[in-house]
Chain A
Amino acid sequence: MPTLIRRGAIESPPSPEPGAALRVEPHEDPAAVADRLGSAARVEVHFPKFTDGRGYSIARLLRERFGYRGELRAVGDVPRDQLHYLARCGFDAFLLRDGEDAKGALAALAGFSEAYQSSVDRPLPLFRRRGASSSA
């Protein structure tokens, strides 16, 4: 049964929803779909294999360059071990591939309490946040 992780909750099966999704394949240019973002019920970025990293850049471009604010869903070969990076690149929904343990996936999302880089979920890089909180 397909399992969706969305807003920190497990939906299995995913609750039905109206409207058509806009699907972006890894070879596609986000600029080419930019004018359709407003009318899409959600955007799905497809990962044919989880080791195909193009979807990460696509997600960041959709969020940071084209200002997409709606649901951004990772679909395809989406294992739990990638959720953390995916979330940092702007995904907020994950259609897990068959057989993935949903509870484990939720836990993986919370695996790291800090990160160095600027990312969609935390635009300021660590060095702009360290400030006085940093100690030896």
Chain B
Amino acid sequence: MYRYDDIDQRIVDERVAQFREQTRRHLAGQLPDDDFKPLRLQNGLYLQRYAPMLRVAIPYGILSARQLRMLAHIARAYDRGYGHFSTRQNLQFNWPRLEDVPDILEHLASVQMHAIQTSGNCIRNITADHLAGVARDEIVDSFVWCEILRQWSALHPEFAFLPRKFKMAVNGARTDRAATFLHDIGLHALRARDGEIGFRVIVGGGMGRTPIVGQVIREFLHWPHLLTYVEAVLRVYNRHGRRDNPYKARIKILVKARGIEALRDEVEAEWLHLKDGPSTLTEVEVRRVAGRFTRPAYEMLQDIELPQDGPFGAWRRRNVHPHKRAGYAALTLSLKKTGVPPGDVTGAQMDAVADLAERYSFGELRVTHEQNLVFADVRQDRLEALWRELRALGLATPNIGLLTNIIACPGGDFCSLANAKSIPVAEAIQRLFDDLDYLHDIGELDLNISGCMNSCGHHHVGHIGILGVDKNGEEWYQVTIGGSQSPAALGRVIGPSFAQHEVPWVVERLIEVYLAGRDSDAERFVDTVRRIGIEPFQEHVYAHAHSPRRHRESAVA
């Protein structure tokens, strides 16, 4: 991972000092709520239904064992002993006291972490593909480019008060694992025919209440121009994005209003002035940043045969991923054990995972947008030993890619914006599908749950998506099918919404249609939906909907 130099450290330290003073003034009654709010948001602090929530940035998802131990310490000292990994590679603490937040930020700074711009109408934490540096189809190490962008976006003076939040993702491999078409700006690395590295720039994607797949604004951006071009996009957005209605303020609305062609012209015209200016990246800088990353000291090894059968085989098949170095593997620690809210980790688990990361994976780990953890550099001959230790910690559920690897936002149990709860729904579905053989038979399936239209649970891109909606003060759930993250596609609503207790039942019916309709075991749920359309699913669910039928009239979504 990137190690701060003294200047990186100083900037974060000065930010903590600034926020400490602002918090002091607020608590002393000298900084009213309305004025304090944008300041605290840009330091990651929300005021939630029951208590403040602090969102800590895990830039592009990478953590050291030392940092994870600090998060465990914070969880114990300032929270109720656990933290929640979000879908944007952040960690959220749900119970810190406002007056403690400056101290928490200082603890974070002591291990080169921060909560800068994890909320507010500014450039947010930049996310990346979680297999950067180890994937076999890698083009560039996205972490290096993310760090360059992190520095550029941190405390950017011009873009602290954008019309709305601004999310960016970088994907460094051929396969898009970073959902670049679903961000305000997505950057997908490319190698041109002459060998030059650049990025395809995608703009205006996003979920939320107006889900839209992004559009390519520039097919190939040569890497030295990365910052100047992105700055041109941001400037056009900052000046012309709508500010009269927060629901119409994201850049996707500007893209829609202007049309991609016109926006492209506008951005190019702005860029003409910035191009080749002082923000043009240099090889020296890219090498400097790359050189400040710790790199695993790999040994010369051979790939080995691993057992296919038994519980270890099942885990290996689901949770272990190929590695570009012979003899190594990347693996996912599932945070989706039934009965545990998706993404939640206790302080004790964090300490234990930190310990394992040190013993098995060069002291580093990663956080994925699916709210799981990844050890990226494990020797294949030590996988089985590691698996035993993970199992003892409840972190070896072999469900990566399967239905029970549910993405769910904190929902109505924690979030003040929620229409409905998401955690109990996730748990009820996990309980219904607790037969591992059945789960494996169903195969790859992304099931995503959001508690409201803000879509933190990415329901639009779930193969099955579940969205909490409010009907006259009651909690209802709308179901979509056919979404996918890569290639980016948005799910379609199957019909009127359902009561909470009906949701697992609906999922079961959807699975029945799939199992009866798939053309082979290799056809995934989402492929079947694409091939046969959503009608057979609708028919089956609503024909058999004994209780849903009751609500159909009153609950048209």
A interface with B by C-beta (< 8 Å): 50-54, 56-58, 60, 64-65, 79, 81, 84-86, 88-89, 101, 108, 111-119, 123-128, 130, 134-136
Q: Is the beta-carbon distance between A112 and B14 smaller than 8 angstroms?
A: yes
Most chain B CB neighbours (cut-off 10 Å) among A53, A112, A114, A136: A53
Q: Is the beta-carbon distance between B155 and A50 smaller than 8 angstroms?
A: no
Q: Is the beta-carbon distance between B159 and A128 smaller than 8 angstroms?
A: no
User: Do A89 and B238 form a contact, CB below 8 Å, given A52-B243, A114-B7, A118-B279?
Assistant: no
User: Do A123 and B278 form a contact, CB below 8 Å, given A56-B160, A56-B161?
Assistant: yes
* B29 located at the interface, meaning its Cβ lies under 8 Å from any Cβ of chain A in the complex: no
Residue in A79, A88, A112, A124 whose CB lies within 8 Å of B35: A79
User: Do A52 and B155 form a contact, CB below 8 Å, given A57-B238, A65-B273?
Assistant: no
B interface with A by C-beta (< 8 Å): 3, 5-7, 10-11, 14-15, 17-18, 22, 30-31, 35, 38-39, 121, 151-152, 154-163, 227, 235, 238-239, 243, 273, 277-279, 281-282, 285, 288
Nearest-CB residue, chain A, relative to B3: A136
User: Do A134 and B5 form a contact, CB below 8 Å, given A89-B158, A112-B14, A119-B157?
Assistant: yes
User: Do A127 and B282 form a contact, CB below 8 Å, given A56-B161, A116-B152?
Assistant: yes
Q: Is the beta-carbon distance between B278 and A112 smaller than 8 angstroms?
A: no
Residue in A115, A134, A136 whose CB lies within 8 Å of B157: A115
> How far apart are the CA atoms of A136 and B278 in the complex, in Å?
25
> How far apart are the CA atoms of A84 and B18 in the complex, in Å?
11
Nearest Cβ on chain A to B494's Cβ, whole angstroms:
40
> How far apart are the CA atoms of A86 and B160 in the complex, in Å?
10
Give chain B residues whose Cβ lies under 8 Å from the Cβ of A54: 238-239, 243
Q: Is the beta-carbon distance between A124 and B278 smaller than 8 angstroms?
A: yes
Q: Is the beta-carbon distance between A53 and B35 smaller than 8 angstroms?
A: no
Give chain A residues whose Cβ lies under 8 Å from the Cβ of B11: 112, 114-116
> How far apart are the CA atoms of A112 and B156 in the complex, in Å?
12
Nearest Cβ on chain A to B79's Cβ, whole angstroms:
27
Nearest-CB residue, chain B, relative to A60: B158
Nearest-CB residue, chain A, relative to B36: A81
Q: Is the beta-carbon distance between A51 and B121 smaller than 8 angstroms?
A: yes
Nearest-CB residue, chain A, relative to B159: A53
> How far apart are the CA atoms of A126 and B163 in the complex, in Å?
27
User: Do A85 and B160 form a contact, CB below 8 Å, given A53-B238, A114-B11, A128-B278?
Assistant: yes
> How far apart are the CA atoms of A51 and B14 in the complex, in Å?
22
Residue in B159, B160, B277, B285 whose CB lies within 8 Å of A127: B285
Residue in B6, B121, B154, B157 whose CB lies within 8 Å of A135: B6
Give chain B residues whose Cβ lies under 8 Å from the Cβ of A113: 10, 14
Nearest-CB residue, chain A, relative to B243: A52
Interface SS, A side = loop
New A-B pairs, 10, CB < 8 Å, besides A50-B38, A58-B239: A51-B38, A51-B161, A65-B273, A79-B35, A86-B157, A112-B14, A116-B152, A125-B227, A130-B5, A134-B5
Give chain A residues whose Cβ lies under 8 Å from the Cβ of B7: 114, 126, 130, 134
Nearest-CB residue, chain B, relative to A54: B239
> How far apart are the CA atoms of A46 and B282 in the complex, in Å?
37
Nearest Cβ on chain A to B545's Cβ, whole angstroms:
46
Q: Is the beta-carbon distance between B161 and A53 smaller than 8 angstroms?
A: yes
> How far apart are the CA atoms of A60 and B243 in the complex, in Å?
20
Q: Is the beta-carbon distance between A117 and B156 smaller than 8 angstroms?
A: yes
> How far apart are the CA atoms of A53 and B166 in the complex, in Å?
14
Nearest-CB residue, chain B, relative to A129: B7
> How far apart are the CA atoms of A118 and B70 in the complex, in Å?
33
User: Do A117 and B152 form a contact, CB below 8 Å, given A85-B157, A127-B288, A135-B6?
Assistant: yes
Give chain A residues whose Cβ lies under 8 Å from the Cβ of B154: 116
Nearest-CB residue, chain B, relative to A126: B7
Q: Is the beta-carbon distance between A111 and B121 smaller than 8 angstroms?
A: no
Q: Is the beta-carbon distance between A135 and B156 smaller than 8 angstroms?
A: no
Q: Is the beta-carbon distance between A135 and B278 smaller than 8 angstroms?
A: no
Closest 5 CB pairs of A and B: A53-B161, A88-B157, A85-B157, A127-B285, A116-B151
Q: Is the beta-carbon distance between B17 and A111 smaller than 8 angstroms?
A: yes
User: Do A52 and B161 form a contact, CB below 8 Å, given A114-B7, A115-B11, A116-B154?
Assistant: yes
User: Do A81 and B39 form a contact, CB below 8 Å, given A56-B158, A118-B279?
Assistant: yes
Give chain A residues whose Cβ lies under 8 Å from the Cβ of B273: 64-65
Give chain B residues whose Cβ lies under 8 Å from the Cβ of A53: 121, 158-163, 238
Nearest-CB residue, chain B, relative to A77: B35
> How far apart are the CA atoms of A118 and B121 in the complex, in Å?
21
Nearest Cβ on chain B to A92's Cβ, whole angstroms:
14
Nearest-CB residue, chain B, relative to A107: B21
Nearest Cβ on chain A to B119's Cβ, whole angstroms:
13
Nearest-CB residue, chain B, relative to A123: B278
Q: Is the beta-carbon distance between A118 and B235 smaller than 8 angstroms?
A: no
Give chain B residues whose Cβ lies under 8 Å from the Cβ of A65: 273
Give chain A residues whose Cβ lies under 8 Å from the Cβ of B6: 134-136
> How far apart are the CA atoms of A111 and B14 in the complex, in Å?
7
Nearest-CB residue, chain A, relative to B14: A112
Q: Is the beta-carbon distance between A118 and B5 smaller than 8 angstroms?
A: no
Give chain A residues whose Cβ lies under 8 Å from the Cβ of B288: 127, 130, 134
Q: Is the beta-carbon distance between A117 and B279 smaller than 8 angstroms?
A: yes
> How far apart are the CA atoms of A29 and B159 in the complex, in Å?
18
User: Do A56 and B278 form a contact, CB below 8 Å, given A51-B121, A115-B11, A130-B7?
Assistant: no
Nearest-CB residue, chain A, relative to B277: A118
Give chain B residues whose Cβ lies under 8 Å from the Cβ of A130: 5, 7, 288
Nearest Cβ on chain B to A112's Cβ, whole angstroms:
5
